[in-house]
A and B are shown apart, each in its own frame.
Chain A
Amino acid sequence: MPQGNPFSKSIKKGRRDLKVYPYKSAKIRIDQCIKMNNILEVKNLNVSFDKEKIIENLSFSLKTGENLVVLGPNGAGKTALLKTLLGIYPFSGEIKWKENVKIGYVPQKFFLEKTVPLTVEEFFKFRPRRPANEKISGEEIVKAINSVGIKNGSILKKKIGEISSGQLQRVLIAWALVDNPEVLIFDEPTAGIDIEGEETIYKLLAEIEKERNLTIIMVTHDLSVVYKIADSALCLNRRFFCYGAPQDVLNSENFRKLYGEEIKFYKHEHH
């Protein structure tokens, strides 16, 4: 597409915005007309499965380099939100990503039979990337696993089903980072990891974030993380959401409503 002048772009924007997006067929837009500095804009997002609404009228935006933490009780639609942003789930409303945005995704951990003969290295080699015709090189793989704190390259020859759950978590992060994304989307990065492992994952995340100037969208159960990395927080509970600076969101009456009794359980002291 030829580069038009700013004027014609703004006209185009006006026209595009007039479009009506019918339910369940809205497309994620890669947009040149996104607000300056914004990497993501979400407006009136609705997601539902089998006629049950999971997310209703959600709006928020994210600046480049901003870290957003998504909070909420189990089943609140946090994972659904991430998958919708990634284009996996259908939705209505508007999701606009900055043009040519590259996203790395770290899914909730999965369990693989020990006998599946796929090595960590092969897992990396199979990663699709942009531009599509370039393969991930051995050097890039080593760099990526080093950056998540795995210094011993022998892990590359191990089968994915055989490495520990903490290592798998790190491998998944490295896998997401290896193509140098601008945005990292994390789903529950600490589920099932012991406290010590958890702490180092967050330390690691903070380092990676600083090093690469990443924009991070992260789902978590752990409130202490919010203060550590988040620039903004979004709490979800199906039809109800609150969004803002972490201290505002966490102290709000809304937040207590969101978790109800559960909050006592989750809010533990960290040093």
Chain B
Amino acid sequence: MSIINLYSLITAIFVGGAAGYVGSLMLTKRMALVGDAFGHVALPGMGLALLFGLNVSLGAFAFLFLGVLAVWFLEPKTQLPAETLVGIIFVLSLAVGFLITPEPELLEALFGDISKVSFWGTAISAVASVLIGLTVWKIYPKITLGSISEDIAAANKINIKKYNFIYLLMVAVVVALGVRIVGSLLAGALVIVPAAAARLVSANLRQYAAFSAGFGVLSCIFGILLAQAINFSAGPIIILVCSFFFLIALVFKK
């Protein structure tokens, strides 16, 4: 295995684990939808970054951050359900992103290209993934209480808005890292599919979080190795492996 391949594998393991773990906090359907749409929000940022030769993850994060702010500020102000709002932001981003991304790089932006990752890219992804994991671990109880009953959380003096914002921010960072690996179209899947699989086979929340992170890591390892073996782009293969885990979980459903 070449050094570049090793870098891409390490990056994917960390980001896959963090994405799976973050995804396990999306306990409600509404949240899962936000996670799914987030990848698309990254596209215009990636397009601009590619256009001006900047870091793709950074460009993605800038737009994801705007997406977080939009969802966070607009949701309480409109009568529309969050799904509608997220849906609009998502198609708008996709359209704008498609228009501004230079054509040779469009495929990379949509489906990812992990093969170009550098040493520093790997290091930053690893550190960021660990930080995301720690942050999410810290807010896990509060977000969980908030998602099962906002009243209970509020009555126990939990500032739900604040913790939701921190959580959305973590989703944004992990998606920004994920778009390099699986591209903007599939980055949401990296957050959602491992958690969906884990949910089927978990007896409690601790297992759920562990399985979810585990499925994320395994999908990335097998996905990248398989992609290298058959000489294909890793992004879609990772998501295929991920979905395969979901199917297996469906069979062993508790």
Say yes or no: A117 contacts B199, CB within 8 Å: yes
Say yes or no: A128 contacts B158, CB within 8 Å: yes
Residues of B within 8 A of A185 (CB): 155
CA distance A83 to B155 in the complex (A): 8
Residues of B within 8 A of A265 (CB): none
Find residues 12-33 in chain B having any chain A CB closer than 8 Å to their own CB: 27
CA distance A116 to B198 in the complex (A): 11
Say yes or no: A117 contacts B148, CB within 8 Å: no
Say yes or no: B155 contacts A105, CB within 8 Å: yes
Cβ-based interface call for B208 (8 A): yes
Cβ-based interface call for A164 (8 A): no
What's the minimum C-beta distance from A192 to chain B, rounded to whole angstroms? 16
Cβ-based interface call for A208 (8 A): no
Residues of B within 8 A of A128 (CB): 141-142, 145, 156-158
Residues of A within 8 A of B203 (CB): 117, 119, 157, 159
Say yes or no: A115 contacts B199, CB within 8 Å: yes
CA distance A107 to B148 in the complex (A): 12
Cβ-based interface call for B78 (8 A): no
Q: Which residue of B lies closest to A127 (CB)?
A: B156
Say yes or no: A110 contacts B149, CB within 8 Å: yes
CA distance A244 to B141 in the complex (A): 41
Say yes or no: B157 contacts A112, CB within 8 Å: no
Say yes or no: A126 contacts B145, CB within 8 Å: yes
Other-chain residue from A83, A105, A117, A123 in contact with B208 (beta carbon distance below 8 A): A117
Cβ-based interface call for B202 (8 A): yes
Other-chain residue from A87, A108, A122 in contact with B204 (beta carbon distance below 8 A): A122
Residues of A within 8 A of B151 (CB): 83, 88, 105, 107-108, 110
Max chain A Cβ within 10 angstroms of own Cβ: one of B145, B151, B208: B151
Residues of B at the A interface (CB closer than 8 Å) are: 27, 141-142, 144-145, 148-149, 151-152, 154-158, 199-200, 202-208
Residues of A at the B interface (CB closer than 8 Å) are: 83, 86-88, 103, 105, 107-108, 110, 112, 115-119, 121-123, 125-128, 157, 159-160, 185
Q: List 9 A-B contacts (CB under 8 A).
A: A86-B154, A87-B157, A116-B27, A117-B204, A119-B203, A119-B204, A126-B142, A127-B145, A185-B155
Not counting A87-B157, A118-B144, A121-B204, a sample of 19 additional A-B residue pairs whose C-beta atoms are within 8 angstroms of each other reads A86-B154, A86-B155, A87-B154, A88-B155, A103-B155, A105-B151, A107-B152, A112-B148, A116-B148, A117-B199, A117-B204, A118-B148, A118-B204, A119-B204, A122-B205, A123-B148, A126-B141, A126-B145, A185-B155
